[in-house]
Amino acid sequence: MAIHNEAKIGEIAKTVLMPGDPMRAKYIAENFLEDYKLVNTVRGMYAFTGKYKGKEITVMASGMGMPSIGIYCYELYKFYNVENIIRIGSCGGHVDYLKVLDIVLVDKSYTEGNFAKNMTGVENHIVQSSSYLNEVIEQTAKELNQKYVKGNMACTECFDPYLDDPMQFVNRLPKEYNLMGSEMESFALFFTAKHLGKNATCLLTVSDSLCTSEELTSEQRQNSMNEMIKLALESTLKL
């Protein structure tokens, strides 16, 4: 029984899009879904189930950080028999070839943290996203002529701009993983999916860059997400 989700069994689709912000979940439901229904309001973490071009989809917020998304994705997989979760969010860029507004498809996620050890007792700091979901998204992007960058991301426990020295953090990241930037949820999502035998991946829009000091406003963050949202939704039609 889910503790943090009041949706009834059958009210959550097999495929879930998962933004961090509850208001972004609401925005997606209102602007992209038909016949949608609000199925969860516990702790203000909205979940909406509706149809996109006839396909049943749930959009549910994850909140911020690994502990938050770890709870919600675990319950979706374990208690609602969800098969696929695509996180859609924002990230900061650490490399000069990653530009503000670029769309990133995450291949692997690295963390310095101990989420994996906490969950299973086994230490693990890098985890692969679902190759199945990534193949679907890449094929869809090709059909839509949608540009994207595929690569590895760091998953942090602190918001980059609030670090005392962001570059000190970037410089100590393992060079062999070629980490392009950072966000705060993907590792927990990927690891939980792998642990439970499910599928997960992550699409991100670059919202700021440590290399160029560019940064989107809150309004720009919301408006610029539409291309990424469309790519995710169109991909769900193949699942």
The packing angle between helices 66-79 and 186-196, to 10°, is 30
- Is residue 107 among the annotated active site residues? no
Contact 15/231 with Cβ under 8 angstroms? no
DSSP 7-22: PPTTSS-SEEEE-S-H
Conformational region of residue 207, where left means phi above 0, alpha means psi within -120 to 50, and beta covers everything else: alpha
Any long-range contacts for 164-172 (C-beta under 8 Å, 24+ apart)?
166/210, 167/210, 170/94, 170/210
Nearest in space to 89 (alpha carbons), one of 175, 195, 204, 234: 204
User: 71, 115 in Cβ contact below 8 A?
Assistant: no
Measured CA to CA, the distance from residue 192 to residue 74 in angstroms comes to 6
Ranges of beta strands (E only) in 19-172 are 34-40, 47-52, 55-60, 84-93, 103-110, 126-128, 149-155
* CA 130/CA 86 separation, integer angstroms: 10
Q: Which amino acids are annotated catalytic?
A: 208
